[in-house]
Amino acid sequence: MPFFIKSKGKKQSKSKTKNQRPQVSLSGAASKQKRRKLRLQNEEISSESEIESDEGGKRTELEFSSDEDETAPEKKLRLAKEYLANLEQEEAEKREEDDIHRDIISHRLKQDLLEQTGKLQKCVADNYEQPSLDDITVLRGHQLTVTCIVISPDKRHVFSGSKDCSIIKWDATEGRRLHTIQGGRKGMEDTHTGHTDHVLCLAMPTDGKFLASGGKNKFILLWNPDDCQLLHKFTGHRDAISGLAFRMGSHQLFSASHDRSVKIWNVDELAYIETLFGHSDAITGIDSLIRDRAITSGGRDGSIRIWKVVDESQLVFNGDPGSIDCIAFINESNFISGADNNSLSLWSMMKKRPTVTVRNAHAGRDQNGNSSIGTNWITAVAALHNTDLVASAGSKDGCIKLWKVAKNYTALQPLFSIPMDGFVNSLHFSVDGQSLVAGVGQEHKLGRWWRIKEAKNGIRMIKLRKKNC
């Protein structure tokens, strides 16, 4: 019996094998087709006839059919190569971006180095064109002559001081008055919070957190520029305060006075630091940039002095006979000055004499048509820092002149004149060079030698246009 069963089992096995051979062949084809579908899914092929490769090319059916014969190790190798190629492409793009960033950073560092060493000079003067009368906005509010102005670093506000002892805060965009710090009368110094005599100078730091004012009443007032509230009163000078300047990027304040001294103040600590002596006559102007130093014009002593605070030393520059009335830094190595003999001078730190002097820079005519060279002394100068653009005002000659500084600082080339009625006592460029603000009045800020009755006391906001803009 067991033999029968065994024999019967053999027959069934043979029969089964014989009858199901075609089925095995069919099942193999189905398995092959199934594997092909799985490969299609794994490799994310979007079409049977055309497939996109990782490099963005096209894979045809012929290429795909060749992949059917690809072994597992070959596929791994291919995918690894594609992955490495993608990584290499991403790294190349990243290196290109890094190179661009490095170039930008390198350019910025070079600019900062040139600025600190006083060698930066952006050539912008040739881009400007003559403003029209429509580009000049007149802001009136002072009763007497405007003596000084300052623009806030954000260009939103302008502050002006006057012989009427008041300070006005203006909206530079809309041209309207926002606040007035009223002046008082002489003898009211103990009871009045503002100035009680002519305001002669204003200054703001580069962050715009403070407003400093000085004048003939011998003290410096520190204000909050937002609400125009008095913060502190600095005393120590024995005569009129003729100039104020904050060291750029700090709250260190320099003050110049007719008492022939320069004082340094720490505004953060509301403290006095030290006094510098050297001028033999009343100081008429002061300016400062990034370095811990200040520059002053010495009036009738005919000298300009640069005070090196850290070194406790000073550099002396000698001008022509006469009074040097105004001074302004162009950059850390060059500066410009104006004198009462109607000459405009360009200076370099490396020379004790001017590199160039323009005689009769503001020669005009009086009311009778006669030459008025002797009366049109330079009353104000301004420079757009680290560029080749400067401006000057010739007292009452009826214009403001813009000049181009030559690349080697050996020439001053006139660009154009802006008509102006009255005495121009102060000039100030906006940081971006888009505007120039002038303080104008019927009289000179220091006296009443002449008076132009038809002039209007106020400030002039001049929009500076660039060519093809």
Amino acid 15: pLDDT: 41
Its sign, for the CA torsion 341, 346, 349, 351, is negative
Nearest to 337 by CA among 363, 308, 303, 365: 303
CA distance 420 to 140: 15
**Residue 336 — pLDDT band, cuts 50, 70, 90?**
very high
The percent helix, strand, coil of the chain (3-state, each to 5) is 20, 35, 45
Amino acid (one-letter) located at 341: N
Give every strand in the sheet of 252-257, ordered side by side: 241-246, 252-257, 261-266, 271-277
pLDDT of residue 49: 42
Percent of the chain surpassing pLDDT 90? 59
Q: 274, 292 in Cβ contact below 8 A?
A: no
- What does the pLDDT average to over 455-463? 95
Pairwise pLDDT comparison (15 vs 354), residue with the higher score: 354
* pLDDT for residue 75 is more than 90: no
Please give the pLDDT value at position 127: 93
- pLDDT computed for residue 372 by the predictor: 52
Which pLDDT score, from 0 to 100, does residue 58 have?
47
Reported as half-sphere exposure (CB side, CA atoms, 13 A), residue 324 has a value of 30
pTM over 0.85: no
Residue 301 predicted with pLDDT over 90 = yes
- pLDDT recorded at residue 71: 84
User: Could you tell me the two tokens for 400?
Assistant: 């403001």
* Confidence at 19, pLDDT banded by 50, 70, 90: very low
How far is the C-alpha of 358 from the C-alpha of 346, rounded, in Å? 9
* pLDDT band at residue 144 under the 50/70/90 scheme: very high
Segment 32-57 shows an average pLDDT of 50
Q: Average pLDDT over the chain, rounded to whole? A: 83
pLDDT tens profile 223-276: 999 999 999 999 999 999 999 999 999 999 999 999 999 999 999 999 999 999
CA–CA distance, 429 with 292 (Å, rounded to integer): 22
Arithmetic mean of pLDDT, 294-323: 92
Backbone φ and ψ for 53, nearest 5 degrees, come out as: -90, 170
Q: What's residue 47's pLDDT?
A: 44
Residue type for 221, please?
Answer: L
* pLDDT higher than threshold 90 for residue 295: yes
pLDDT band at residue 57 using 50, 70 and 90 as cut-offs: very low
Task: Encode pLDDT of 169-219 as tens digits.
Answer: 999 999 999 999 999 888 787 788 899 999 999 999 999 999 999 999 999
Amino acid 87: pLDDT: 82
Provide the pLDDT for residue 16.
40
Token pair of 40 as six digits: 């299609």
CA separation for the pair 383, 96 (Å, rounded): 39
